[in-house]
């Protein structure tokens, strides 16, 4: 399992408007969500993790190598990223060229590049758009295209900023399945999201950011079981818990299925 290790990290924007401050933190879980209120520092952390901005203090190690020592080709193989806004990273004339571009920076075998690009486009459901200009695609298709660009490279670690934003239900399901497949094949997937239902249903680990710091690291059950913390960091629990707690049941339920399972168990125990 790939591993990211942060120690003594301090980053302040040039205007001193905001500081990210993380003393020690490992990212070593297969499927991790980073959550927190708007402006908590999630995207800033992501930019630090990919070396887009450099901390004034501290280190970020990816599999034992400091991020600032990784040459750009090695970095591409270690860590792939999609930004919140797909238009921040699309610049090729066709969808096919866009998906092939990143891989062509680390691979010269044209046949292999084409095969990987084709497979990535099939995986995200855009195979029939290969000849189109990325900017003729819808926003959700452009978002899926950015995923394909990373899938084609197949880095050890995938970092996604708000991957589900603007995706419809079938695309969300498709992406969630891709995440689980990546995890099964030994990759690490880290994603920033505001979707607590998704976090509760799918993720093994969640880090909560607040005011530039990591305020909690643990399982979704531990997070949503701590209603005081959830409130303090400005989050909402999964919707099923909003309903059950309004009905006076303050147990932790991650999904409607989780609720049914636990209540079936209670019913079975009573019989």
Ligand X SMILES: Nc1ncnc2c1ncn2[C@@H]1O[C@H](COP(=O)(O)OP(=O)(O)OP(=O)(O)O)[C@@H](O)[C@H]1O
Residues contributing to the site for ligand X (CB under 6 A):
13, 15, 17-18, 36, 38-44
Task: Pick the closer one to ligand X by CB: 15 or 184.
Answer: 15
In the complex, minimum distance from the CB of residue 143 to ligand X, in angstroms, rounded to a whole number: 15
Give the whole-angstrom CA distance, residue 94 versus residue 101.
10
Query: What are the angstrom distances between the C-alpha of 5 and each of 30, 66, 204?
Result: 14, 9, 18
Task: Pick the closer one to ligand X by CB: 15 or 185.
Answer: 15
Task: Pick the closer one to ligand X by CB: 76 or 233.
Answer: 233
Strands annotated E in the chain = 4-12, 19-27, 31-35, 57-62, 65-66, 79-82, 157-161, 188-192, 205-210, 213-218
The vertex-30 CA angle with 26 and 35, nearest 5°, equals 65
In the complex, minimum distance from the CB of residue 17 to ligand X, in angstroms, rounded to a whole number: 5
Kindly give the residue spans of alpha helices, DSSP state H, lying in 8-94. Answer: 42-49, 72-78
In the complex, minimum distance from the CB of residue 43 to ligand X, in angstroms, rounded to a whole number: 3
DSSP for 137-173 reads: S-HHHHHHHHHHHHHHH--SEEEEESTTTT--HHHHH
Task: Pick the closer one to ligand X by CB: 8 or 39.
Answer: 39
Task: Pick the closer one to ligand X by CB: 17 or 185.
Answer: 17
In the complex, minimum distance from the CB of residue 80 to ligand X, in angstroms, rounded to a whole number: 19
Give the whole-angstrom CA distance, residue 68 versus residue 164.
30
In the complex, minimum distance from the CB of residue 44 to ligand X, in angstroms, rounded to a whole number: 3
């Amino acid at each position: 399992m790939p591993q990211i290790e942060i120690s003594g990290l301090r980053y302040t924007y040039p205007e001193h408007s905001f500081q990210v401050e993380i003393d020690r933190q490992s990212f070593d879980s297969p499927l991790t969500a980073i959550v927190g209120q708007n402006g908590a520092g999630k995207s800033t952390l992501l930019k630090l993790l990919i070396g887009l901005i450099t901390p004034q203090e501290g280190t970020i190690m990816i599999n034992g190598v400091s991020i600032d020592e990784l040459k750009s080709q090695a970095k591409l193989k270690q860590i792939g990223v999609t930004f919140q806004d797909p238009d921040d990273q699309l610049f090729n004339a066709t969808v096919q060229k866009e998906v092939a571009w990143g891989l062509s920076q680390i691979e010269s075998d044209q046949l292999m590049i084409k095969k990987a690009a084709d497979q990535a486009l099939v995986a995200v459901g855009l195979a029939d758009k290969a000849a189109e200009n990325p900017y003729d695609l819808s926003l959700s298709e452009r978002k899926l295209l950015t995923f394909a660009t990373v899938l084609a490279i197949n880095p050890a670690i995938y970092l996604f900023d708000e991957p589900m934003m603007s995706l419809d239900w079938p695309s969300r399901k498709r992406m969630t399945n891709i995440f689980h497949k990546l995890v099964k094949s030994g990759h690490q997937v880290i994603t920033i999201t505001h979707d607590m239902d998704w976090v509760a249903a799918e993720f093994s680990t969640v880090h909560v950011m607040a005011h530039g710091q990591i305020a909690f690291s643990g399982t979704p059950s531990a997070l949503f079981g701590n209603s005081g913390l959830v409130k303090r960091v400005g989050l909402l629990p999964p919707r099923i818990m909003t309903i059950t707690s309004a009905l006076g049941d303050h147990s932790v339920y991650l999904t409607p299925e989780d609720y049914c399972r636990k209540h079936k168990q209670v019913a079975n125990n009573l019989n």
